[in-house]
Amino acid sequence: MSQLMSGAKILLECLGREGVEVIFGYPGGVTLPFYDALYDHPIRHVLVRHEQNAAFAAQGYARSTGRVGVCCATSGPGATNLVTGLVDAMMDSIPIVALTGQVSTKLIGTDAFQEADTFGITRSATKHNYLVKNIKDLPAVIHEAFYIAASGRPGPVLIDVTKDVFMGNAHYEPVNSIHLPGYKVYTEGHTGQIRRAAQMMLEAERPLVYAGGGIVLGNAHDELKELVELIDAPTVCTLMGLGGLSCDHPNFISMPGMHGSYAANMAMSGADLLIALGVRFDDRVTGRLAAFAPHAKIVHVDIDPAEISKNRNADLPIVGDLKRVLPKLSANVKEIQSETGNPERPGLKQWWKQVRDWKEEHPLKPVYSTSEIKPQHLMAEIDRISNGKAIVTTDVGQHQMWAAQLIRYNAPRLWINSGGLGSMGFGLPSAIGAQFANPDQLVFSIVGDGGFQMSLPELATLMNYGLPVKIIVMNNGYLGMVRQWQELFYNNRLCSVTLDSFPDPALLAGAYGFKGRTVEQPSELAEALQEAIQYNGPYLLNVKVTPTENVYPMVPAGGAINEMVLGPVQPAPVA
């Protein structure tokens, strides 16, 4: 009972089967037939104001829900504008499907109007990509794309569809099975290795759980909590893993790495066993690799075999899905504990004391002033309002680090940032996707005055769709992180980091039809934030903070992570 349908309709039919409810996109010449089919289809389309932001919004949707986000762009410039968003999703393993239009098959290769080699350009920007030149291939390709994006180590998949495929007609037959003989997903983990890992966890005197984005992506937060409590190990969550274990959990230490806490980095350096779960030993975490966790044996669990022993050799690798492997690890731990009678572990007790001491010596705590708003003060206020529950998206830079250090995330998928690629302009569009997926949730988009100005056009999208995102601009008048490096490592020769001419937020937001304001006095901050969250609709709060505040602790590039600079260098006391 197949039906004669246009390619555009077949595409929408397949998207519907995949459960797609919203597409973030921007139409154009060759996607006209697709948009025509969309006209009377229940899938919603959110018109962003730039294609890059369509990809970021799809990511915000995917990151906050775990479902595949979908974005759409036309051929040529539409497709090339998506690329940053695709690479960003690739780096952070975010499942999105990008649909792009391509010029008609007979025009490919003729330098036709708005033609670009999208398939070639996005090859290295995606987990997999497709060029569909035959309408018969379309249904299977779409289901393959969604399966590849969401399964295994997730990632972006792009489908480039020629205009003649959109416009052609074919008998549509739902695809009930796809065949990807070369696509291997390892889920279960090796039973013997799991047993040995459990053994190691109970034998270690100074174990440390190093939990990453894989916990969040794999929805393995409950399973992580169980294991952490069983073995009672201190736990650090990476920038991508924040929320994987609640920041209020007694075993949670904080974030490690370049701007990680003293305790987290010292614990990494002192541990005798690192239980690395869904992490990739990123250079921003390890610092100088040769000096990283020098005393630790490594248990590394990851769904991607290519991550094992990539940067740091794994003493005990387990390739599998954390959601499946962690319960098995816990079961093995319990078994061993009941066999051995779970004896006291004096070494572990000592280790906990040490870790707590480190935490007390140099805690991550906000800095306050009575004359100016410290950026840390701003984050502390947002933390107080959020109380571990709000969605927070950020851009990249100083504000991102402070938001990671000082705001608590008590569940996964609350903290949304561009970790691997570090794309400025990510915060606002990703908040659009997150708010769309979570209409009743409080969504803060904390951005710097630099990145915010990269995503300005999306203010219209917020207003257009009534998305009540609270934009908090941490405005220091600088590209703060670059300025910090110029100050510390380039003799304070500040070059092209001053951001003058920031628009008046009340006028700017007002021009789009919502409210904005500037706050400068520490005493006004709490009240201004209250006003922002109580306002019915989007709100732009421009917070003027200490211009030259630096993010600490800091591990200078190429340094070992236990060689942190803990604060501004104090002038030598005069005798």
Partner 1 sequence: MLQIISLLMENKAGALMRVTGLLTARGYNIDSLTVARTLDPGLSRMTIAVDIEPHGRRQLIKQMNKLINVLQATDLTEGPAVTREMVLMRVRAAQEARTAILKEAEIFGARVVDSTIEGFALEATGDIEKLDEFINIMQSYGEIEVTRSGAVAVSLEAKKLRLSPPIPRGETVMAEEKNGVV
Give the interface with partner 1 as residue ranges (CB under 8 A): 17-19, 67, 119-120, 123-124, 127-129, 131, 143, 147-148, 150, 175-185, 219, 304-306, 310
Q: Considering the complex, what minimum distance in angstroms separates the CB of residue 143 from partner 1?
A: 5
Task: Identify which of residues 83 and 555 has a Cβ nearer to partner 1 in the complex.
Answer: 83
Task: Identify which of residues 325 and 454 has a Cβ nearer to partner 1 in the complex.
Answer: 325
Q: Considering the complex, what minimum distance in angstroms separates the CB of residue 100 from partner 1?
A: 15
What tokens appear for 496 in the block? 């092209």
SS3 279: coil
What tokens appear for 561 in the block? 């992570």
- Tokens 């009972």 belong to 1
Task: Identify which of residues 19 and 571 has a Cβ nearer to partner 1 in the complex.
Answer: 19
Q: Considering the complex, what minimum distance in angstroms separates the CB of residue 148 from partner 1?
A: 6
Q: How far apart are CA 517 and CA 419, in angstroms?
A: 29
Residue type for 266, please? M
Task: Identify which of residues 160 and 395 has a Cβ nearer to partner 1 in the complex.
Answer: 160
Residue 51 a catalytic site member: yes
Task: Identify which of residues 44 and 353 has a Cβ nearer to partner 1 in the complex.
Answer: 44
The DSSP secondary-structure symbol of 137 reads G
Task: Name the active-site residue from 5, 90, 91, 481.
Answer: 481
Q: Considering the complex, what minimum distance in angstroms separates the CB of residue 111 from partner 1?
A: 20
Residue 163 a catalytic site member: yes
Q: How far is CA 253 from the centre of its chain?
A: 20
Q: Considering the complex, what minimum distance in angstroms separates the CB of residue 13 from partner 1?
A: 12
Task: Identify which of residues 129 and 332 has a Cβ nearer to partner 1 in the complex.
Answer: 129
Task: Name the active-site residue from 13, 24, 34, 51.
Answer: 51
Task: Name the active-site residue from 21, 114, 167, 310.
Answer: 114
Residues near 4 by beta carbon (within 8 Å), at least 6 away in sequence? 169, 170, 171, 172
Q: Considering the complex, what minimum distance in angstroms separates the CB of residue 76 from partner 1?
A: 19
Residue 481 a catalytic site member: yes
Count of other CB atoms within 10 angstroms of residue 174: 11
- Tokens 């037959």 belong to 173
Q: Rounded to the nearest 10 degrees, what angle do helices 346-361 and 262-270 cross at?
A: 150
Q: How far is CA 442 from CA 23, 362, 421, 509, 539, in A?
A: 22, 31, 26, 19, 12
Question: Residue 23: in which H helix or E strand, if any?
Answer: strand 22-25
Q: How far apart are CA 470 and CA 537, in angstroms?
A: 8
Q: How far apart are CA 285 and CA 561, in angstroms?
A: 8
Residue type for 29, please? G
Task: Identify which of residues 232 and 304 has a Cβ nearer to partner 1 in the complex.
Answer: 304
Q: How far apart are CA 54 and CA 428, in angstroms?
A: 11
Residue 487 a catalytic site member: no
End-to-end alpha carbon distance in the chain: 93
Task: Name the active-site residue from 106, 113, 173, 389.
Answer: 113
Cα–Cα–Cα angle for 436, 442, 443, nearest 5°?
60
Q: How far is CA 238 from CA 209, 234, 254, 258, 451, in A?
A: 11, 13, 8, 11, 22
Task: Identify which of residues 310 and 362 has a Cβ nearer to partner 1 in the complex.
Answer: 310
Q: How many CA atoms lie within 13 A of 274 on its CB side?
A: 33
- Tokens 């000096």 belong to 291
Residue 534 a catalytic site member: no
Task: Name the active-site residue from 163, 359, 470, 544.
Answer: 163
Q: Considering the complex, what minimum distance in angstroms separates the CB of residue 142 from partner 1?
A: 10
Residues near 470 by beta carbon (within 8 Å), at least 6 away in sequence? 442, 443, 444, 445, 532, 533, 538, 539, 541
Task: Identify which of residues 133 and 345 has a Cβ nearer to partner 1 in the complex.
Answer: 133
Question: Residue 17: in which H helix or E strand, if any?
Answer: helix 7-17
Q: Considering the complex, what minimum distance in angstroms separates the CB of residue 305 from partner 1?
A: 6
Q: Considering the complex, what minimum distance in angstroms separates the CB of residue 284 from partner 1?
A: 20
Q: Among all residues, which ones are annotated catalytic?
A: 51, 113-114, 163, 481
